[in-house]
Amino acid sequence: MELIQICKNAKTAERAFAKVKTAVKNEVLEKTAERLQAQADFILGENEKDLANAREKQMPDALVDRLKLTKERIDQMAQGLKQIVGLDDPIGEVLGMKQRPNGLLIGRKRVPLGVVGIIYESRPNVTADAFGLCFKTSNVVILKGGSDAIHSNLAIVSCIQDVLKEEGLDPNMIQIISDTDRKTTSEFMKMNQYVDVLIPRGGAGLIRSVVENATIPVIETGTGNCHVYVDDPCDLEMAVNIIMNAKTQRVGVCNACESLLIHKNVAEAIMPVLAKKLQEKHVEIVADENLASMAEGILPATEEDWGREYLDYKISMKTVSGVEEAIAHINRYNTGHSECIVTNDYFHAQQFLDEVDAAAVYVNASTRFTDGFEFGFGAEIGISTQKLHARGPMGLEALTTTKYIIYGNGQIR
């Protein structure tokens, strides 16, 4: 009954949203950013409860890092909301208007999706990001976070709802399902009577469960088995820097590099330096026989390694004969997320951009840039690896649909 009431509250709030103007939305977002920073100590105190539970469960360090909040990370959440304020409100934008021979003017207008449900794991920053993007696009949001981050998520939602109340708006424009039972999650997936779209954000198991069991339309966000391909010719120093950033800057995220392909002609030159730097960062390396022979402490890779998203201090490496083999390998094993080529060859770069099937394809830059904030969206609702409606980091426009608007002067058919 509690879940049904949450969904009914969301539909009521959706109707109220139609009257909320852009200026009001921007003011709420500004005040929410300020409130999160002002309540940082409260939020961090609640986050510490989640961290204590994670340590008790012996959660891997990379996952604890995803869960952990700091004042700097709360500042980043606030900055994301403020950046959304500076973006154009897409709601109400008319996408062209054409006149038919009978005089009818037919156009399309951007409108909200309606009620957006988000099921996610261990990332408290998603709570603020989801609110900011949904609120700017006049979408009501229902959040179902994981049990690992329940105290953090409830604290953030409490701050947001306080601001909504103070501004005279319906606090049910954002709601969180506090029941962490998996049965409730399963029931939420079937609330298509109330929820217009469902966005899962988390590991492969969560995403697969939502895609297979939901009766609500799903925008699939994907896991990230991301590759870097080191071509011949290339700047080897640049390649090492990109790989180190893509792998070690933050290992527990979907845009981190998990697999490395190295052209056979540059392998001997790059491997000793690269392996040493990775091992200094405590990255475990598994590789094919050729690369394993070029540095100490490298373990043999298995077929399973080529398709693995480690989300940890581990990377797989393989020798390839050239750009075509690299592309074929990536398209076989990747998850459609982010792929990179490091090269000095313009034609190889263009071939890689044209033929690699992924949401984001890079030339000479780290895969870590696949991010809503870095793309100028202020934040992201997730990174879509599907091909319908939205693909890549999902900003404001991805949270809209369109309706046809028709102007006439008495036409009948």
For every residue of 307-336, DSSP letters joined together read: G----SSEEEEEEESSHHHHHHHHHHH--S
Q: What is the mean pLDDT of residues 171-188?
A: 94
Q: Where are the alpha helices (DSSP H) in 39-149?
A: 40-56, 61-67, 71-85, 125-136
Q: What is the mean pLDDT of residues 64-88?
A: 94
Side chain identity, residue 411: Q
Distance CA 360, CA 393 (A): 9
The pLDDT assigned to 222 comes to 74
CA-closest candidate to residue 187, choices 346, 374, 4:
4
The pLDDT assigned to 376 comes to 82
351 confidence band (pLDDT: 50, 70, 90): very high
CATH number of 226-369: 3.40.309.10
- Is a pLDDT exceeding 70 seen at residue 289? yes
The pLDDT assigned to 184 comes to 94
Burial of 94 (0-12, 13-18, 19+ CB in 10 A): exposed
The pLDDT assigned to 1 comes to 67
Find out whether 134 and 174 touch, Cβ atoms under 8 Å. Answer: yes
Pull the structure tokens for residue 168. 């005279």
CATH 2.40.160.40 corresponds to the domain 2-221+394-407: no
Q: What number of residues does the chain have? A: 413
- Is a pLDDT exceeding 70 seen at residue 229? yes
- The residue ranking higher by pLDDT, 111 or 385, is 111
Q: What is the mean pLDDT of residues 50-71?
A: 91
18 confidence band (pLDDT: 50, 70, 90): confident
- Break the chain into its structural domains and give their ranges: 2-221+394-407, 226-369
Cα–Cα distances (Å) from 125 to 47, 52, 333, 396, in that order, read 11, 18, 29, 17
User: What does residue 88 show for φ and ψ, rounded to 5 degrees?
Assistant: -65, 140
Rg (CA), the chain: 23
The pLDDT assigned to 122 comes to 79
pLDDT digits (tens, 9 = 90+) for 32-52: 999 999 999 999 999 999 999
Q: What is the mean pLDDT of residues 153-170?
A: 98
191 confidence band (pLDDT: 50, 70, 90): very high
Find out whether 271 and 239 touch, Cβ atoms under 8 Å. Answer: no
